[in-house]
Chain A
Amino acid sequence: MHQPSPSSGSPDFGTAYPSLDEMAVGISLKAQHVRELMSSRPALGFLEIHAENYMGAGGAPHARLDALQEYPLSIHGVGLSLASERPLDATHLARLKTLCERHPPTSVSEHLAWAGHSGHFYNDLLPVPLTDAMLARVSDNLMQLQDTLGRQVLIENPAHYLRFDARELGAELIPETHFLTRLVERSGCGLLIDVNNVFVSAHNIGIDPAAWLESIPGHAVGEIHLAGHGEDSREGLLIDNHGAPVCDEVWALYADFINRIGPRPTLIEWDTQVPALEVLLGQTTRAQALLHSTRAQQLTRSGMEGGQ
């Protein structure tokens, strides 16, 4: 089983906590699919939930997780604001800990983003100028989060819509992949690489998606997200709306990425205009096939090396 290992010198959370199988393919758990999931019990490597949707005191959402507990659970937070300049919201951190105790997850992840300010929550992943000060901030917040949960947390790369101006910000900007690499070294976190976000960002702010993925340290990657996107015709931007099938370019980037770093747990993410479960399962089959062919190539390669 793959366990992203922190580099030497960074905090080590050991292997006491579980992690997803590297061949696992999962889907986002949606209320409208629960009945069918419970009756047909499809072979899925894991189910992923947005942490905040399960932070109510009780009722159907929790019953749903109890009924589906045979599937490994990935808890994916969207509201912790790790890149806020303010300290983490202690109440929200405690809620996340309570959720992890009530429904023990196999994986926990959050975003390189902020969503709140001065006691208000904006329900979106807001952009972050990647400066040295921000690296220290996010790293400290991540360590606090990991200490609280007693486990490693994966951090996801966001979708970008605009470019920052370093001179106007008055601070030097760090390339995103360097920022993520240094965050792993400093905090001992793992990475959740959203290939669709890389593709969308590449289109929007002019980066080379293949080169971007190439400079991500493979050992740190604990999960991959695949999703679809939409288009904003006015500005010619791609919008990460999780409302469509994964596009061919993203499949190709994904195949190359796992071919380099090896199989990784992969999520088909679909949150708006959610289709029939069957459609999601079709996407998971495609991801599973790519993971298997990567695994086969790895075995062939190691077999050849062993034979020499």
Chain B
Amino acid sequence: MTSLERHASAERQPDWQRAFIEALTQPDAALPGIEAGHQQRFDVYRNNVWASLISALEEAYPVTRQVVGERFFAALAHDHSRQHLPRSPLMMEYGAGLAETLHTTLTTLVEARQVSAAQLPFYAVDLARFEAARLVAYHAADAEALVPTQLAGLPPEAVMELRFSAHPAACLLHLEHAVLEIWQRHQHADATLEGLDIARPERILITRPALEVQVTVLCEAAALLLELLLAGQTLAGAAARLADAHPEQELGPLLAPLLASGAFRAPT
């Protein structure tokens, strides 16, 4: 074998795997290197790959799927999987951007004047963000959460000078719809959104102080407090900012739900 031939032979295999991948995405493409009579059988891999990605998305977004309907979701998952292949073998991380694909899809339908925006469940975009954030929290690193009793022993001045760090599972979502109640109602069969003001902006804090994911709806001021603290402000600094933005609010009742839900990491 000449060195040129050796080179060609070494190159052949990666080319074949590339050809395989290209054939996966093209329904009628022939795959080189397999028996002529077995070309149709290549569909087994086409089915396996795309069906497994779609089913991973279905598992990650059960309520979004319920809301948009199985057929619409299947089409959405089909499009999303072709545009966004997994970047790693950790399927628990797959599909993080589905909300954006859904938003684009719904917007395109409106722009194409096939249907009016009011007829489409745009709230499902927020719902998908919510379901994705819950999954991230479910798999986040374990850490002890800061509990109120850990602050109780400190003199008040010391508490005001504390800086807080986020618990690894904590995440604050600013959503345009009343997603928590939509999600809760869909935990039962025959869910209806009757009597619910869907277009109500919501700030949702997702935490996982132990193994269970917790969801807490925050008022605007509490959400601001959380953001200020996680940006490195002391409690005193955050209180000063809050006094400007929400003079009617007291610090204690705003901090309480943040501590109770396990938004902060305990000092080590």
Contact = CB atoms under 8 A, between A and B. Distances in A.
Contact of A163 (B38, B44, B208): B38
Contacts of B87: 119-121
A239 B9 contact: no
A162 B92 contact: no
B89 A58 contact: no
Q: How large is the interface on A (under 10, 10 to 19, 20 to 34, 35 or more residues)?
A: 35 or more
- Interface secondary structure of B, over-half rule: helix
B15 to A, nearest CB: 9
Contacts, number: 139
Interface of B: 9-10, 12-14, 16-18, 20-21, 24, 32-36, 38, 40-45, 48-49, 52-53, 56, 85-92, 94, 138-143, 168-169, 208, 211
Interface in A5-34: none
A123 B91 contact: yes
A275 to B, nearest CB: 18
Contact of A61 (B32, B33, B139, B168): B139
A95 B85 CA distance: 20
A86 B34 contact: no
B44 A59 contact: no
Contacts of B168: 57-58
Contacts of A124: 45, 48-49, 52
Of the candidates B16, B49, B52, B208, the one having the most CB atoms from chain A within 10 angstroms of its own CB is: B16
Given A84-B17, A162-B34, A122 B24 contact: yes
A53 B17 CA distance: 26
A117 interface: yes
B12 A170 contact: yes
A131 interface: yes
A237 B44 contact: yes
A235 B40 contact: yes
B59 to A, nearest CB: 11
A190 interface: no
A149 B110 CA distance: 54
A186 B108 CA distance: 56
B131 to A, nearest CB: 16
Contacts of B20: 117, 126
